[in-house]
């Protein structure tokens, strides 16, 4: 009886150790995938500080995700997430489709840097890079790699975000407007799922539209921040916001 209890105890300890190792392996795999494959899709640097994931529950936390800017833009980054949570089905990482039950992002920071012509922004350029990588939606997607997996994201929620607007017309001043909440469901919900690149395209399309819509319709919020600026700067910013709104209207038509 004592030998049996000892064997059971040893098996339990081994099982716990294996789960801990599996957790570390999943976390390391996510970090490596984001930092290696992500820049191929966005054509920007991407760094990820850490991934802490439990193989028991599939719940985890990701810290320090920073998406840099494309060439030609000067702000420190395009997107910065201090931390967010996710939950996935642990065993799905061993299959051809990783099933992510939820990604919950609260309080992200976006910097919208626009060029002189108002029709070009860092976020829009990243989206264009992703769309170029994945190919037009009516054609077959670009083959990402023989080792890449498809994904399914049941829920992606972005709340409490802010957008910092940067443009030379602002004369060195920064404007901050709130980002409307974004909720996406059933990404890659079919049997095969969707590629990592395609899922990024869906997310960035929603983010881009939310940012431009927020900036172009935030008259009162922007007005409060313009009170201490010179009249010429105020007029320039008015033109900037109108240009952003025209950009959004063209994309919707």
Whether 115 shows a pLDDT value over 50: the answer reads yes
Which three-class secondary structure state does DSSP give residue 176? strand
Bridge partners (DSSP) listed for residue 114? 121
Each residue's pLDDT tens digit, 5-35:
556 545 555 554 554 555 566 777 888 889 9
Q: Which of 226, 211, 203 is nearest to 109 (CA)?
A: 211
For 80, the token pair is 């910065």
DSSP string, 115-133: -TTSS-BHHHHHHHHHHHH
Each residue's pLDDT tens digit, 44-85:
999 999 998 887 888 989 999 999 999 988 889 999 999 999
Q: Is residue 104 a contact partner of residue 97, using CB atoms and an 8 Å limit?
A: no
Q: Which of 223, 206, 214, 219 is nearest to 179 (CA)?
A: 214
- pLDDT for residue 145: 46
Contacts of 53 (CB under 8 A, 6+ apart): 23, 26, 27, 30, 59, 60, 61, 88
Quickly state the pLDDT bin for 249 (edges 50, 70, 90): low
Contacts of 106 (CB under 8 A, 6+ apart): 84, 159, 160
CA distance 39 to 232: 39
Q: What percent of the chain has pLDDT over 90?
A: 40
Q: Which of 180, 188, 173, 174 is nearest to 211 (CA)?
A: 180
Q: Which of 222, 233, 240 is nearest to 163 (CA)?
A: 222
Mean pLDDT of the chain: 78
Per-residue exposure over 195-219, b if at least 16 CB sit within 10 Å of its own CB, e if not: bbbbbbbbbbeebbbbbbbbbbbbe
CA distance 124 to 147: 29
Record the pTM. Answer: 0.79
Which three-class secondary structure state does DSSP give residue 62? strand
Helix residue spans in the chain (DSSP H): 2-42, 122-134, 196-216, 219-225, 231-252
Each residue's pLDDT tens digit, 87-103:
999 888 888 999 999 99
Residue 2 burial (10 A CB sphere; 0-12, 13-18, 19+): exposed
């Amino acid at each position: 009886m004592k030998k049996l209890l000892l064997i059971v105890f040893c098996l339990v300890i081994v099982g716990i150790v294996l789960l801990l190792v599996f957790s570390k392996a999943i976390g390391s795999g996510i970090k490596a995938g984001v930092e290696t494959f992500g820049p191929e899709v966005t054509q920007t640097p991407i760094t990820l500080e850490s991934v802490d994931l439990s193989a028991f529950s599939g719940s985890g936390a990701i810290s320090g995700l920073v998406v840099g800017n494309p060439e030609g833009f000067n702000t420190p980054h395009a997107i910065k997430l201090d931390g967010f949570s996710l939950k996935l089905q642990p065993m799905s990482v061993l299959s051809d489709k990783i099933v992510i039950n939820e990604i919950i992002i609260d309080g992200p920071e976006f910097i919208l840097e626009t060029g002189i012509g108002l029709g070009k922004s860092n976020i829009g350029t990243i989206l264009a890079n992703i769309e170029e990588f994945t190919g037009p939606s009516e054609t077959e997607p670009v083959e990402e790699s023989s080792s890449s997996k498809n994904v399914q994201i049941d829920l992606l929620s972005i709340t409490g975000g802010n957008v910092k607007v940067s443009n030379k017309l602002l004369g060195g001043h920064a404007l901050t407007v709130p980002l409307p909440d974004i909720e996406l469901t059933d990404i890659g919900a079919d049997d095969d799922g969707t590629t990592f690149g395609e899922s990024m395209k869906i997310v960035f399309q929603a983010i881009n539209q939310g940012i431009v819509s927020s900036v172009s319709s935030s008259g009162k919020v922007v007005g409060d921040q313009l009170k201490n600026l010179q009249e010429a700067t105020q007029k320039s910013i008015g033109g900037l916001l109108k240009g952003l709104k025209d950009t959004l209207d063209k994309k919707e038509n």
